[in-house]
Amino acid sequence: MKSKNVLKIIILVLVFIALINPQWIPFIPAGTQNAIATEMQKTFGSIAGGKAGIFNPAKLVTAVAAVLAVWIATTVICTVTEKVCANKKRSMTVAGLIISVIRVIAVIAGGVWVLGIMGVNLAGIFASLGIVSLIIGFGAQSLIEDSITGIFIIFEGHYNIGDIIILDDFRGTVKQISMRTTTIEDIGGNLKIVNNSDIRNIRNRSVNISATTCDIGISYDQSIIEVEKVIAENIEKMYERNQDVWESAPEYVGVNALADSAVVIRMLVRTTENNIFAAQRRLNREMKILFDENNIEIPFAQVVVHNAK
């Protein structure tokens, strides 16, 4: 936490303590201090003074015990949920939602419990929640929208934790799905945190086996039939050397283009999305080695100049 935030919290706590103890403020008349103290005690109970006061050791110890009890229960439930749902993308995704909800409920329940222990007039607070909830409702529309969208994302299974997705121009692995946000990590370890309501038009690259291609040119003087024969004879050998990355043997797709200086043929290999870039690099390397070993020319751009007579 930044030092500025810590300072703000300390100042706000001191102001709050001063307000619930108006007798500490010298410029307020005694009658006004008593009236403020009475109203404060109606709402905040013993926190705002009285016989017991906020510094009552028994209440403080009980409040600490309540916080520990809630924290222990939450930790146990979350840990068990994570263990039960481990190693399965779908289960881990649902577990993330459950854990997120449990933590929110724990904070609310723990806060209410502690306030009750400290003698806060919860009935008066809950009675005023009608107006407060209306105000919060207008300010929390995006929060509600994010949460509802998050629930639909998880239960409709558009993507799960561990899936590789493309959102706008960002490609990465889904690391976390909470009630409000989705966290995506790219290959460089950079994190993109997106509100669930802002996720639109995604591409889930982990649903099916992916494929990558290698477009490589051969000279117009080269026999395309001979080149196809060489490729067919060596496909299985290439696959045996790259089974750790490729899901199947490469496929000769055919002539992809008749370019200015070369006949461009296309090779395709199937792989998982996690290995898409490695598979493409391996395929490029294998094709270059294959052509070098069989004296198949890979031409470069050439310019033919004709002298006018």
Give me the phi and psi of 92, to 5 degrees please.
-65, -35
CA distance 200 to 152: 13
pLDDT in tens, 115-151: 777 766 666 555 555 555 655 555 556 767 777 777 7
Neighbours of 208 (CB within 10 A): 10
CA distance 185 to 175: 7
Q: Please answer whether residues 179 and 195 qualify as being in contact, where contact means their C-beta atoms are separated by less than 8 angstroms.
A: no
Cα(first)–Cα(last) distance of the chain, in Å?
Answer: 81
Q: Please answer whether residues 21 and 41 qualify as being in contact, where contact means their C-beta atoms are separated by less than 8 angstroms.
A: no
pLDDT band per the 50, 70, 90 thresholds, residue 104: confident
pLDDT in tens, 38-73: 766 665 555 555 444 554 556 666 777 777 888 888
Give pLDDT, residue 279. 93
pLDDT band per the 50, 70, 90 thresholds, residue 233: very high
Name the token pair of 276: 């898409």
Neighbours of 46 (CB within 10 A): 18
Q: Please answer whether residues 264 and 255 qualify as being in contact, where contact means their C-beta atoms are separated by less than 8 angstroms.
A: yes
CA distance 85 to 32: 59
Give pLDDT, residue 1. 47
Weakest-pLDDT range from 49-53, 200-204, 295-299, 300-304: 49-53
CA distance 56 to 35: 23
User: If you average pLDDT over each of 46-50, 103-107, 273-277, which comes out highest?
Assistant: 273-277
Neighbours of 288 (CB within 10 A): 13
210-293: CATH topology: Alpha-Beta Plaits (3.30.70)
- Computed over every residue of the chain, the mean pLDDT equals 77
Domain 142-204: give its CATH code.
2.30.30.60
pLDDT band per the 50, 70, 90 thresholds, residue 246: very high
> What is the average per-residue pLDDT within 145-161?
74
DSSP 54: T
Give pLDDT, residue 225. 93
197 contacts: CB under 8 Å, gap ≥ 6: 142, 145, 146, 149
pLDDT band per the 50, 70, 90 thresholds, residue 263: very high
CA distance 186 to 189: 5
Q: Please answer whether residues 194 and 182 qualify as being in contact, where contact means their C-beta atoms are separated by less than 8 angstroms.
A: yes
Give pLDDT, residue 237. 92
CA distance 194 to 185: 11
More confident residue, 292 or 200: 292
What are the boundaries of each domain within the chain? 1-55, 142-204, 210-293
Question: Residue 209 pLDDT more than 90?
Answer: no
Give pLDDT, residue 98. 75
CA distance 254 to 286: 17
Give pLDDT, residue 51. 46
DSSP 173: E
Give pLDDT, residue 298. 86
Q: Please answer whether residues 96 and 176 qualify as being in contact, where contact means their C-beta atoms are separated by less than 8 angstroms.
A: yes
DSSP string, 188-255: TS-EEEEEGGG--S-EETTSS-EEEEEEEEE-TTS-HHHHHHHHHHHHHHHHHHTTTTBSS--EEEEE
Give pLDDT, residue 101. 76
Weakest-pLDDT range from 3-7, 14-18, 45-49, 62-66: 45-49
Name the token pair of 8: 């703000």
DSSP 260: S
Q: Residue 240 is which amino acid?
A: E
Q: Please answer whether residues 95 and 85 qualify as being in contact, where contact means their C-beta atoms are separated by less than 8 angstroms.
A: yes
